[in-house]
Amino acid sequence: MAINLTRRNFLKTASLAAASVPLSKVVAKAETGVVKTPLIPPGSFKDTKTAVGGICEMCFWRCQLVGKVRDGRLVKLEGNPKSIDNGTAICARGNAGIKLLYDPDRLKYPLKNVGKRGAPKWKRISWEEALNECASKLKGIVDKYGPHGLAMFPHGASAKYPMHFFEKTVGTPNVSEASFFQCRGIRDTAYVATIGTAPGENVDMPNAKVIMLLGGHFGENVHVSHLKRYLKGLENGAKLIVVDPRFSASAGKADIWVKIKPGTDTAFLLAIMNYLIQNDKYDKKFVEEHGEGFETMAEGISEWTLEKAAAICDVPASQIKEVADLLAANAPNVSIHPGRHVSWYGNDFQRERSLACLTGVLGAYGVKGGFVKPKGPKGFGKVSWPHGEHEGENLKEIAGKYPFAPPGTPTELIRDAALSGDPYPIKGCVIWGQNPIQTIPNQQRTIRMLKQMDFVMCVDVMPTDITMFADILLPECSYLERYDYIKKGTQWNFADKHQQYVSARMPLVDPGFERKDGVWITNEIARRMGYGDKIPVQSQEEMVDKILAGAGLSIAKLKAEDGIHIQPGKDPYGISEDFTVNFANEDLEDEGFPAIPTYIPVEEPPAGYMRLLYGRAPVHTFNRTQNNVWLHAAMPENPVWVNDKVAKRLGLRDGDRVSFVNQDGVKSRTTTTVKVTPGIREDAVYMYHGFGSMNPELTVGYNQGVDDQSLITKLAVDPETGCSGMRNNFVRLVKAS
């Protein structure tokens, strides 16, 4: 409660303080027979019913919602007051969910492309025809080329069920999730190689004495309960270190901003570790009890003096020392944030390894304020498609590359195989809720890959860029119109009473038009492809109930508990005796990679070019929200941040319009405005990701701002994981006349 009164008192005074309205109101009579909308909007509390069980999907954090429904229409979304995760708070995107639900541009009916891929002409067809077409085309490809003749690009919770059908039952290994290969995958496998577990974002920031963010820009990147953690930490007096080439929203709140040269983060981290080790400022007890290969690492990184790193990172040696000393003085209660989107430069596995090792050097595992994994609810049922009999190696194994890849197949290998037909042709493509035009570098290659397919099908809620290349386009229910996977967790502040929660996505309104949920669509296709006997559940409700049943819950029970079940939790602190930090990892060495964290330099910008950096906007999620009329109004385009000295040299003023040319001569299709600021390095420019949609059917977001991905044509692949590094491209700015 923000108001310093007991809740009861507050309610009493608040209800007393009713808005005083003039008693002698003059009511204007409509004399023309015009039926006016009421002048005073009723507000969400007037004549609305509250629908519980909503789970947001405007990003992937999945805050718990309630919907205010009036006459069958959703008028407002709010945080579920019962939530111990986001509480009553939801972010800008969460609040704007109703504008996605009722977006007139949304997909409404199954469509068949009677034009060309990339220049579609859509014809409305029946579900029956659409499903028959998808099934017969996909089956034809499997019969002719084998299951590996298919590729799938899924994204988000909604695509798990169809993904498992194609991956396990049909048996294609060519599955690439942007959430792994262009995002978190490196982080997860690097931490697994270091501490045996994927980290999530599990740093106990509320109880930390120091928080260190490397590239994390909280406030511009928004996940509600995660931000609550961060802000509680700052409120409790945590010192904040932000390492970023740009003065981000987090840097604005930081005690130390390290204006690092892009691509050199690993050198910075190695110098910190070396300094701590050389000066006996590390956690000896922790390293002895839980460290593996510490001496090997200590010796291997001994060349990393403060001065050496300072020269490479282009920051003062004294500042690296200041950061190291601040961490050491407050160890082990320090949050070394693992990051989230980490596929940056193609040397990212090493950076993530370094973060995990630094956490170990500081002894910050399992302790208050350090890296702490919550102990969430357990015992849920599993719903999954059965594994079929499949033979042959996947592309990773054939190439003998990327042994530390996250689940799925590196995107680049899929695209290469499809374009070359080697080691095998890929002729069918299923795209489910992902927009590979904006998720994967080098759009032209993606487009060529799609054009050589025999069949492309897309399932989405919006006509995204990639849907222009579909033969069949299917309209899916949005997250507000369907049941879906459960969301579970604990309270966000481990200092509070330990509690666990379970909720499951439930529809707040009925699906509009002819939209169908992913379980139904998958099952109907599966049946027609001859896999009817393998179908694990008949409906989305059955799926959710089966998962919940394992924990003694059900949809009905959750509904009776206002959408969220809360149960006692467990103390998350402490680590097991056999918890190990592999400072040196022999498995890596066996595969031909460095056993200890190693700095791999990246290319410098050519003369006259600046490195293109991108990041998050608080009101947008990737490329999913630019057509949302409220969010568009809040941030219609993505201004490019240009250093003030550079701008002066280039003759650019704040607000000028520019287009871009990259190092390969690729030009941006659109323009955006210049934001001149001292808050970015001279060798880089920065913009929000996800703008400049190319599909004219997005009547709000079409061509608004510049698509950063269109300028990312030079590929950088992380050698251990095969993930796409997307910050190794360079641009010139061209003033628009």
Partner 1 sequence: MQYGMIIDIDKCVGCHACTIACKAEWEVPAQFGRNWVYRLGPAKTSTGELAFTFYPGLCNHCDKPACVDVCPADPVEATFKDVKTGKTKTMEIAATWKDPFNGTVQIDKTRCMGCGACADACPYGARYVNPDLADDESEGKADKCTYCMPRVAEGLQPACVQTCLAGARIFGDLTDPNSEVSKYVKKGAFGLTSKNVQIGPNSRYYGSKKKDIELLKAQAPQEMPEASTRRIMLAKMMQPAMKQIRDLGMLGIAGSLLVKSMQEEDKE
Site for partner 1 in 655-714 (CB under 8 A): 677-680
Residues 43 to 82 in contact with partner 1, rule: CB under 8 A: 43-46, 75-79
Q: Are 327 and 363 in contact (CB under 8 A)?
A: no
With binding defined as CB under 8 A, does residue 227 bind partner 1? yes
**Smallest distance, Å, CB 616 to partner 1?**
11
Q: Does residue 4 bind partner 1 (CB under 8 A)?
A: yes
The CB-of-400 to partner 1 minimum distance in angstroms stands at 45
| Residue pair 162/432 in contact by the 8 Å Cβ criterion | yes
Q: Shortest gap between Cβ of 681 and partner 1 (angstroms)?
A: 12
Among 50, 69, 89, 398, binds partner 1 (CB under 8 A): 89
Smallest distance, partner 1 to C-beta of residue 733, A: 19
At 585 the three-state DSSP class reads: coil
Residue 220 CA to its chain's centroid (Å):
13
Contact with partner 1 (CB under 8 A) among 52, 65, 92, 414: 92
CA angle, residues 519, 470, 722, in degrees to nearest 5: 80
Q: Does residue number 619 form part of the binding site for partner 1 (CB under 8 A)?
A: yes
Measured from the CB of residue 593, what is the shortest distance to partner 1 in angstroms? 38
Residues 375 to 404: which contact partner 1 by CB under 8 A?
none
d(CA 397, CA 337): 32
Stretch of residues binding partner 1 (CB under 8 A), selected from 5-13, 130-138, 483-491, 719-727: 5-13
Looking at residues 509 to 528 of the shown chain, list those that interact with partner 1 (rule: CB under 8 A): 512-513
What's the CA gap between 726 and 737, in Å, rounded? Answer: 29
Integer Cα distance of 21 and 267 in angstroms: 65
Report the residue from 369, 618, 719, 725 that binds partner 1 according to the rule CB under 8 A: 618
Q: How far is the CB of 495 from partner 1 (least distance, A)?
A: 16
Cβ distance to partner 1 smaller for residue 2 or 607: 2
Task: For residue 236, state whether it binds partner 1 (rule: CB under 8 A).
Answer: no
Q: What does 222-290 look like in DSSP terms, one character per residue?
A: --HHHHHHHHHHHHTT-EEEEE-SB--TTGGG-SEEE-PPTT-HHHHHHHHHHHHHHTT-S-HHHHHHH
Closest to 468 (Cα-Cα) out of 431, 439, 441? 431
* Sheet of 49-55, strands arranged across: 49-55, 64-70, 73-79
Q: Which among 249-257, 279-287, 474-482, 717-725 is the span making contact with partner 1, rule CB under 8 A?
A: 249-257
Using the structure block, give the residue that is written with the tokens 């890596």. Answer: 588
Quote the least distance from Cβ 488 to partner 1, whole Å: 20
Instruction: Name which of 333, 433, 380, 560 is nearest 107 in CA terms.
Output: 433
Closer residue to partner 1 (CB): 244 or 352:
244
> Which residues on neighbouring strands pair with residue 673, listed in sequence order?
657
Contact 352, 190 (CB under 8 A): yes
**Can residue 252 be called a binding residue for partner 1 (CB under 8 A)?**
yes
Give min distance, CB of 234 to partner 1, in A: 8
CA–centroid distance for 105 within its chain: 24
- Could you say whether residue 3 binds partner 1 (CB under 8 A)? yes
Q: Which CB atom, from 153 or from 641, has the smaller least distance to partner 1?
A: 641
Whole-angstrom Cα distance, residue 323 to residue 328?
Answer: 9
User: Which of 535, 629, 715, 734 touches partner 1 (CB under 8 A)?
Assistant: 629
Of the ranges 328-336, 519-527, 593-601, 628-636, which one interacts with partner 1 (CB under 8 A)? 628-636
56: Cβ–Cβ under 8 A, 6 or more apart, which residues?
62, 63, 64, 65, 77, 90, 93, 94, 97, 479
When asked if residue 247 is in the footprint of partner 1 (CB under 8 A), the reply is yes
Nearer to partner 1 among residue 242 and residue 395 (C-beta) = 242
Among 51, 55, 90, 414, binds partner 1 (CB under 8 A): 90
Closest by CA to 694, choosing from 463, 478, 446, is: 463
> In this chain, which of 198, 220, 375, 454 binds partner 1, going by CB under 8 A?
220
Residue 22 is a binding residue for partner 1 (CB under 8 A)? yes
Tell me the closest approach of the beta carbon of residue 286 to partner 1, in angstroms.
33
Q: Residue count at the site for partner 1 (CB under 8 A)?
A: 86
**Which of 633, 639, 703 shows the shortest CA–CA distance to 673?**
639
Task: Identify the residue among 219, 403, 423, 511 touching partner 1 (CB under 8 A).
Answer: 219
Rounded CA-CA distance 581/171 in Å is 36
Q: Which CB, 63 or 135, lies closer to partner 1?
A: 63
Q: How far is the CB of 371 from partner 1 (least distance, A)?
A: 23
Alpha-carbon Rg for the chain, nearest whole angstrom, is: 26
Shortest approach of partner 1 to residue 84 CB, angstroms? Answer: 14
Q: How far is the CB of 57 from partner 1 (least distance, A)?
A: 16
In the range 30-49, which residues lie near partner 1 by CB under 8 A?
Answer: 30-37, 39-41, 43-46
CA 697 – CA 393 distance, rounded (Å): 40
- Cα separation values, 536 from 202, 527, 546, 553, Å: 33, 12, 10, 19
Q: In the window 96-135, what residues touch partner 1 (CB under 8 A)?
A: 96, 98, 102, 104
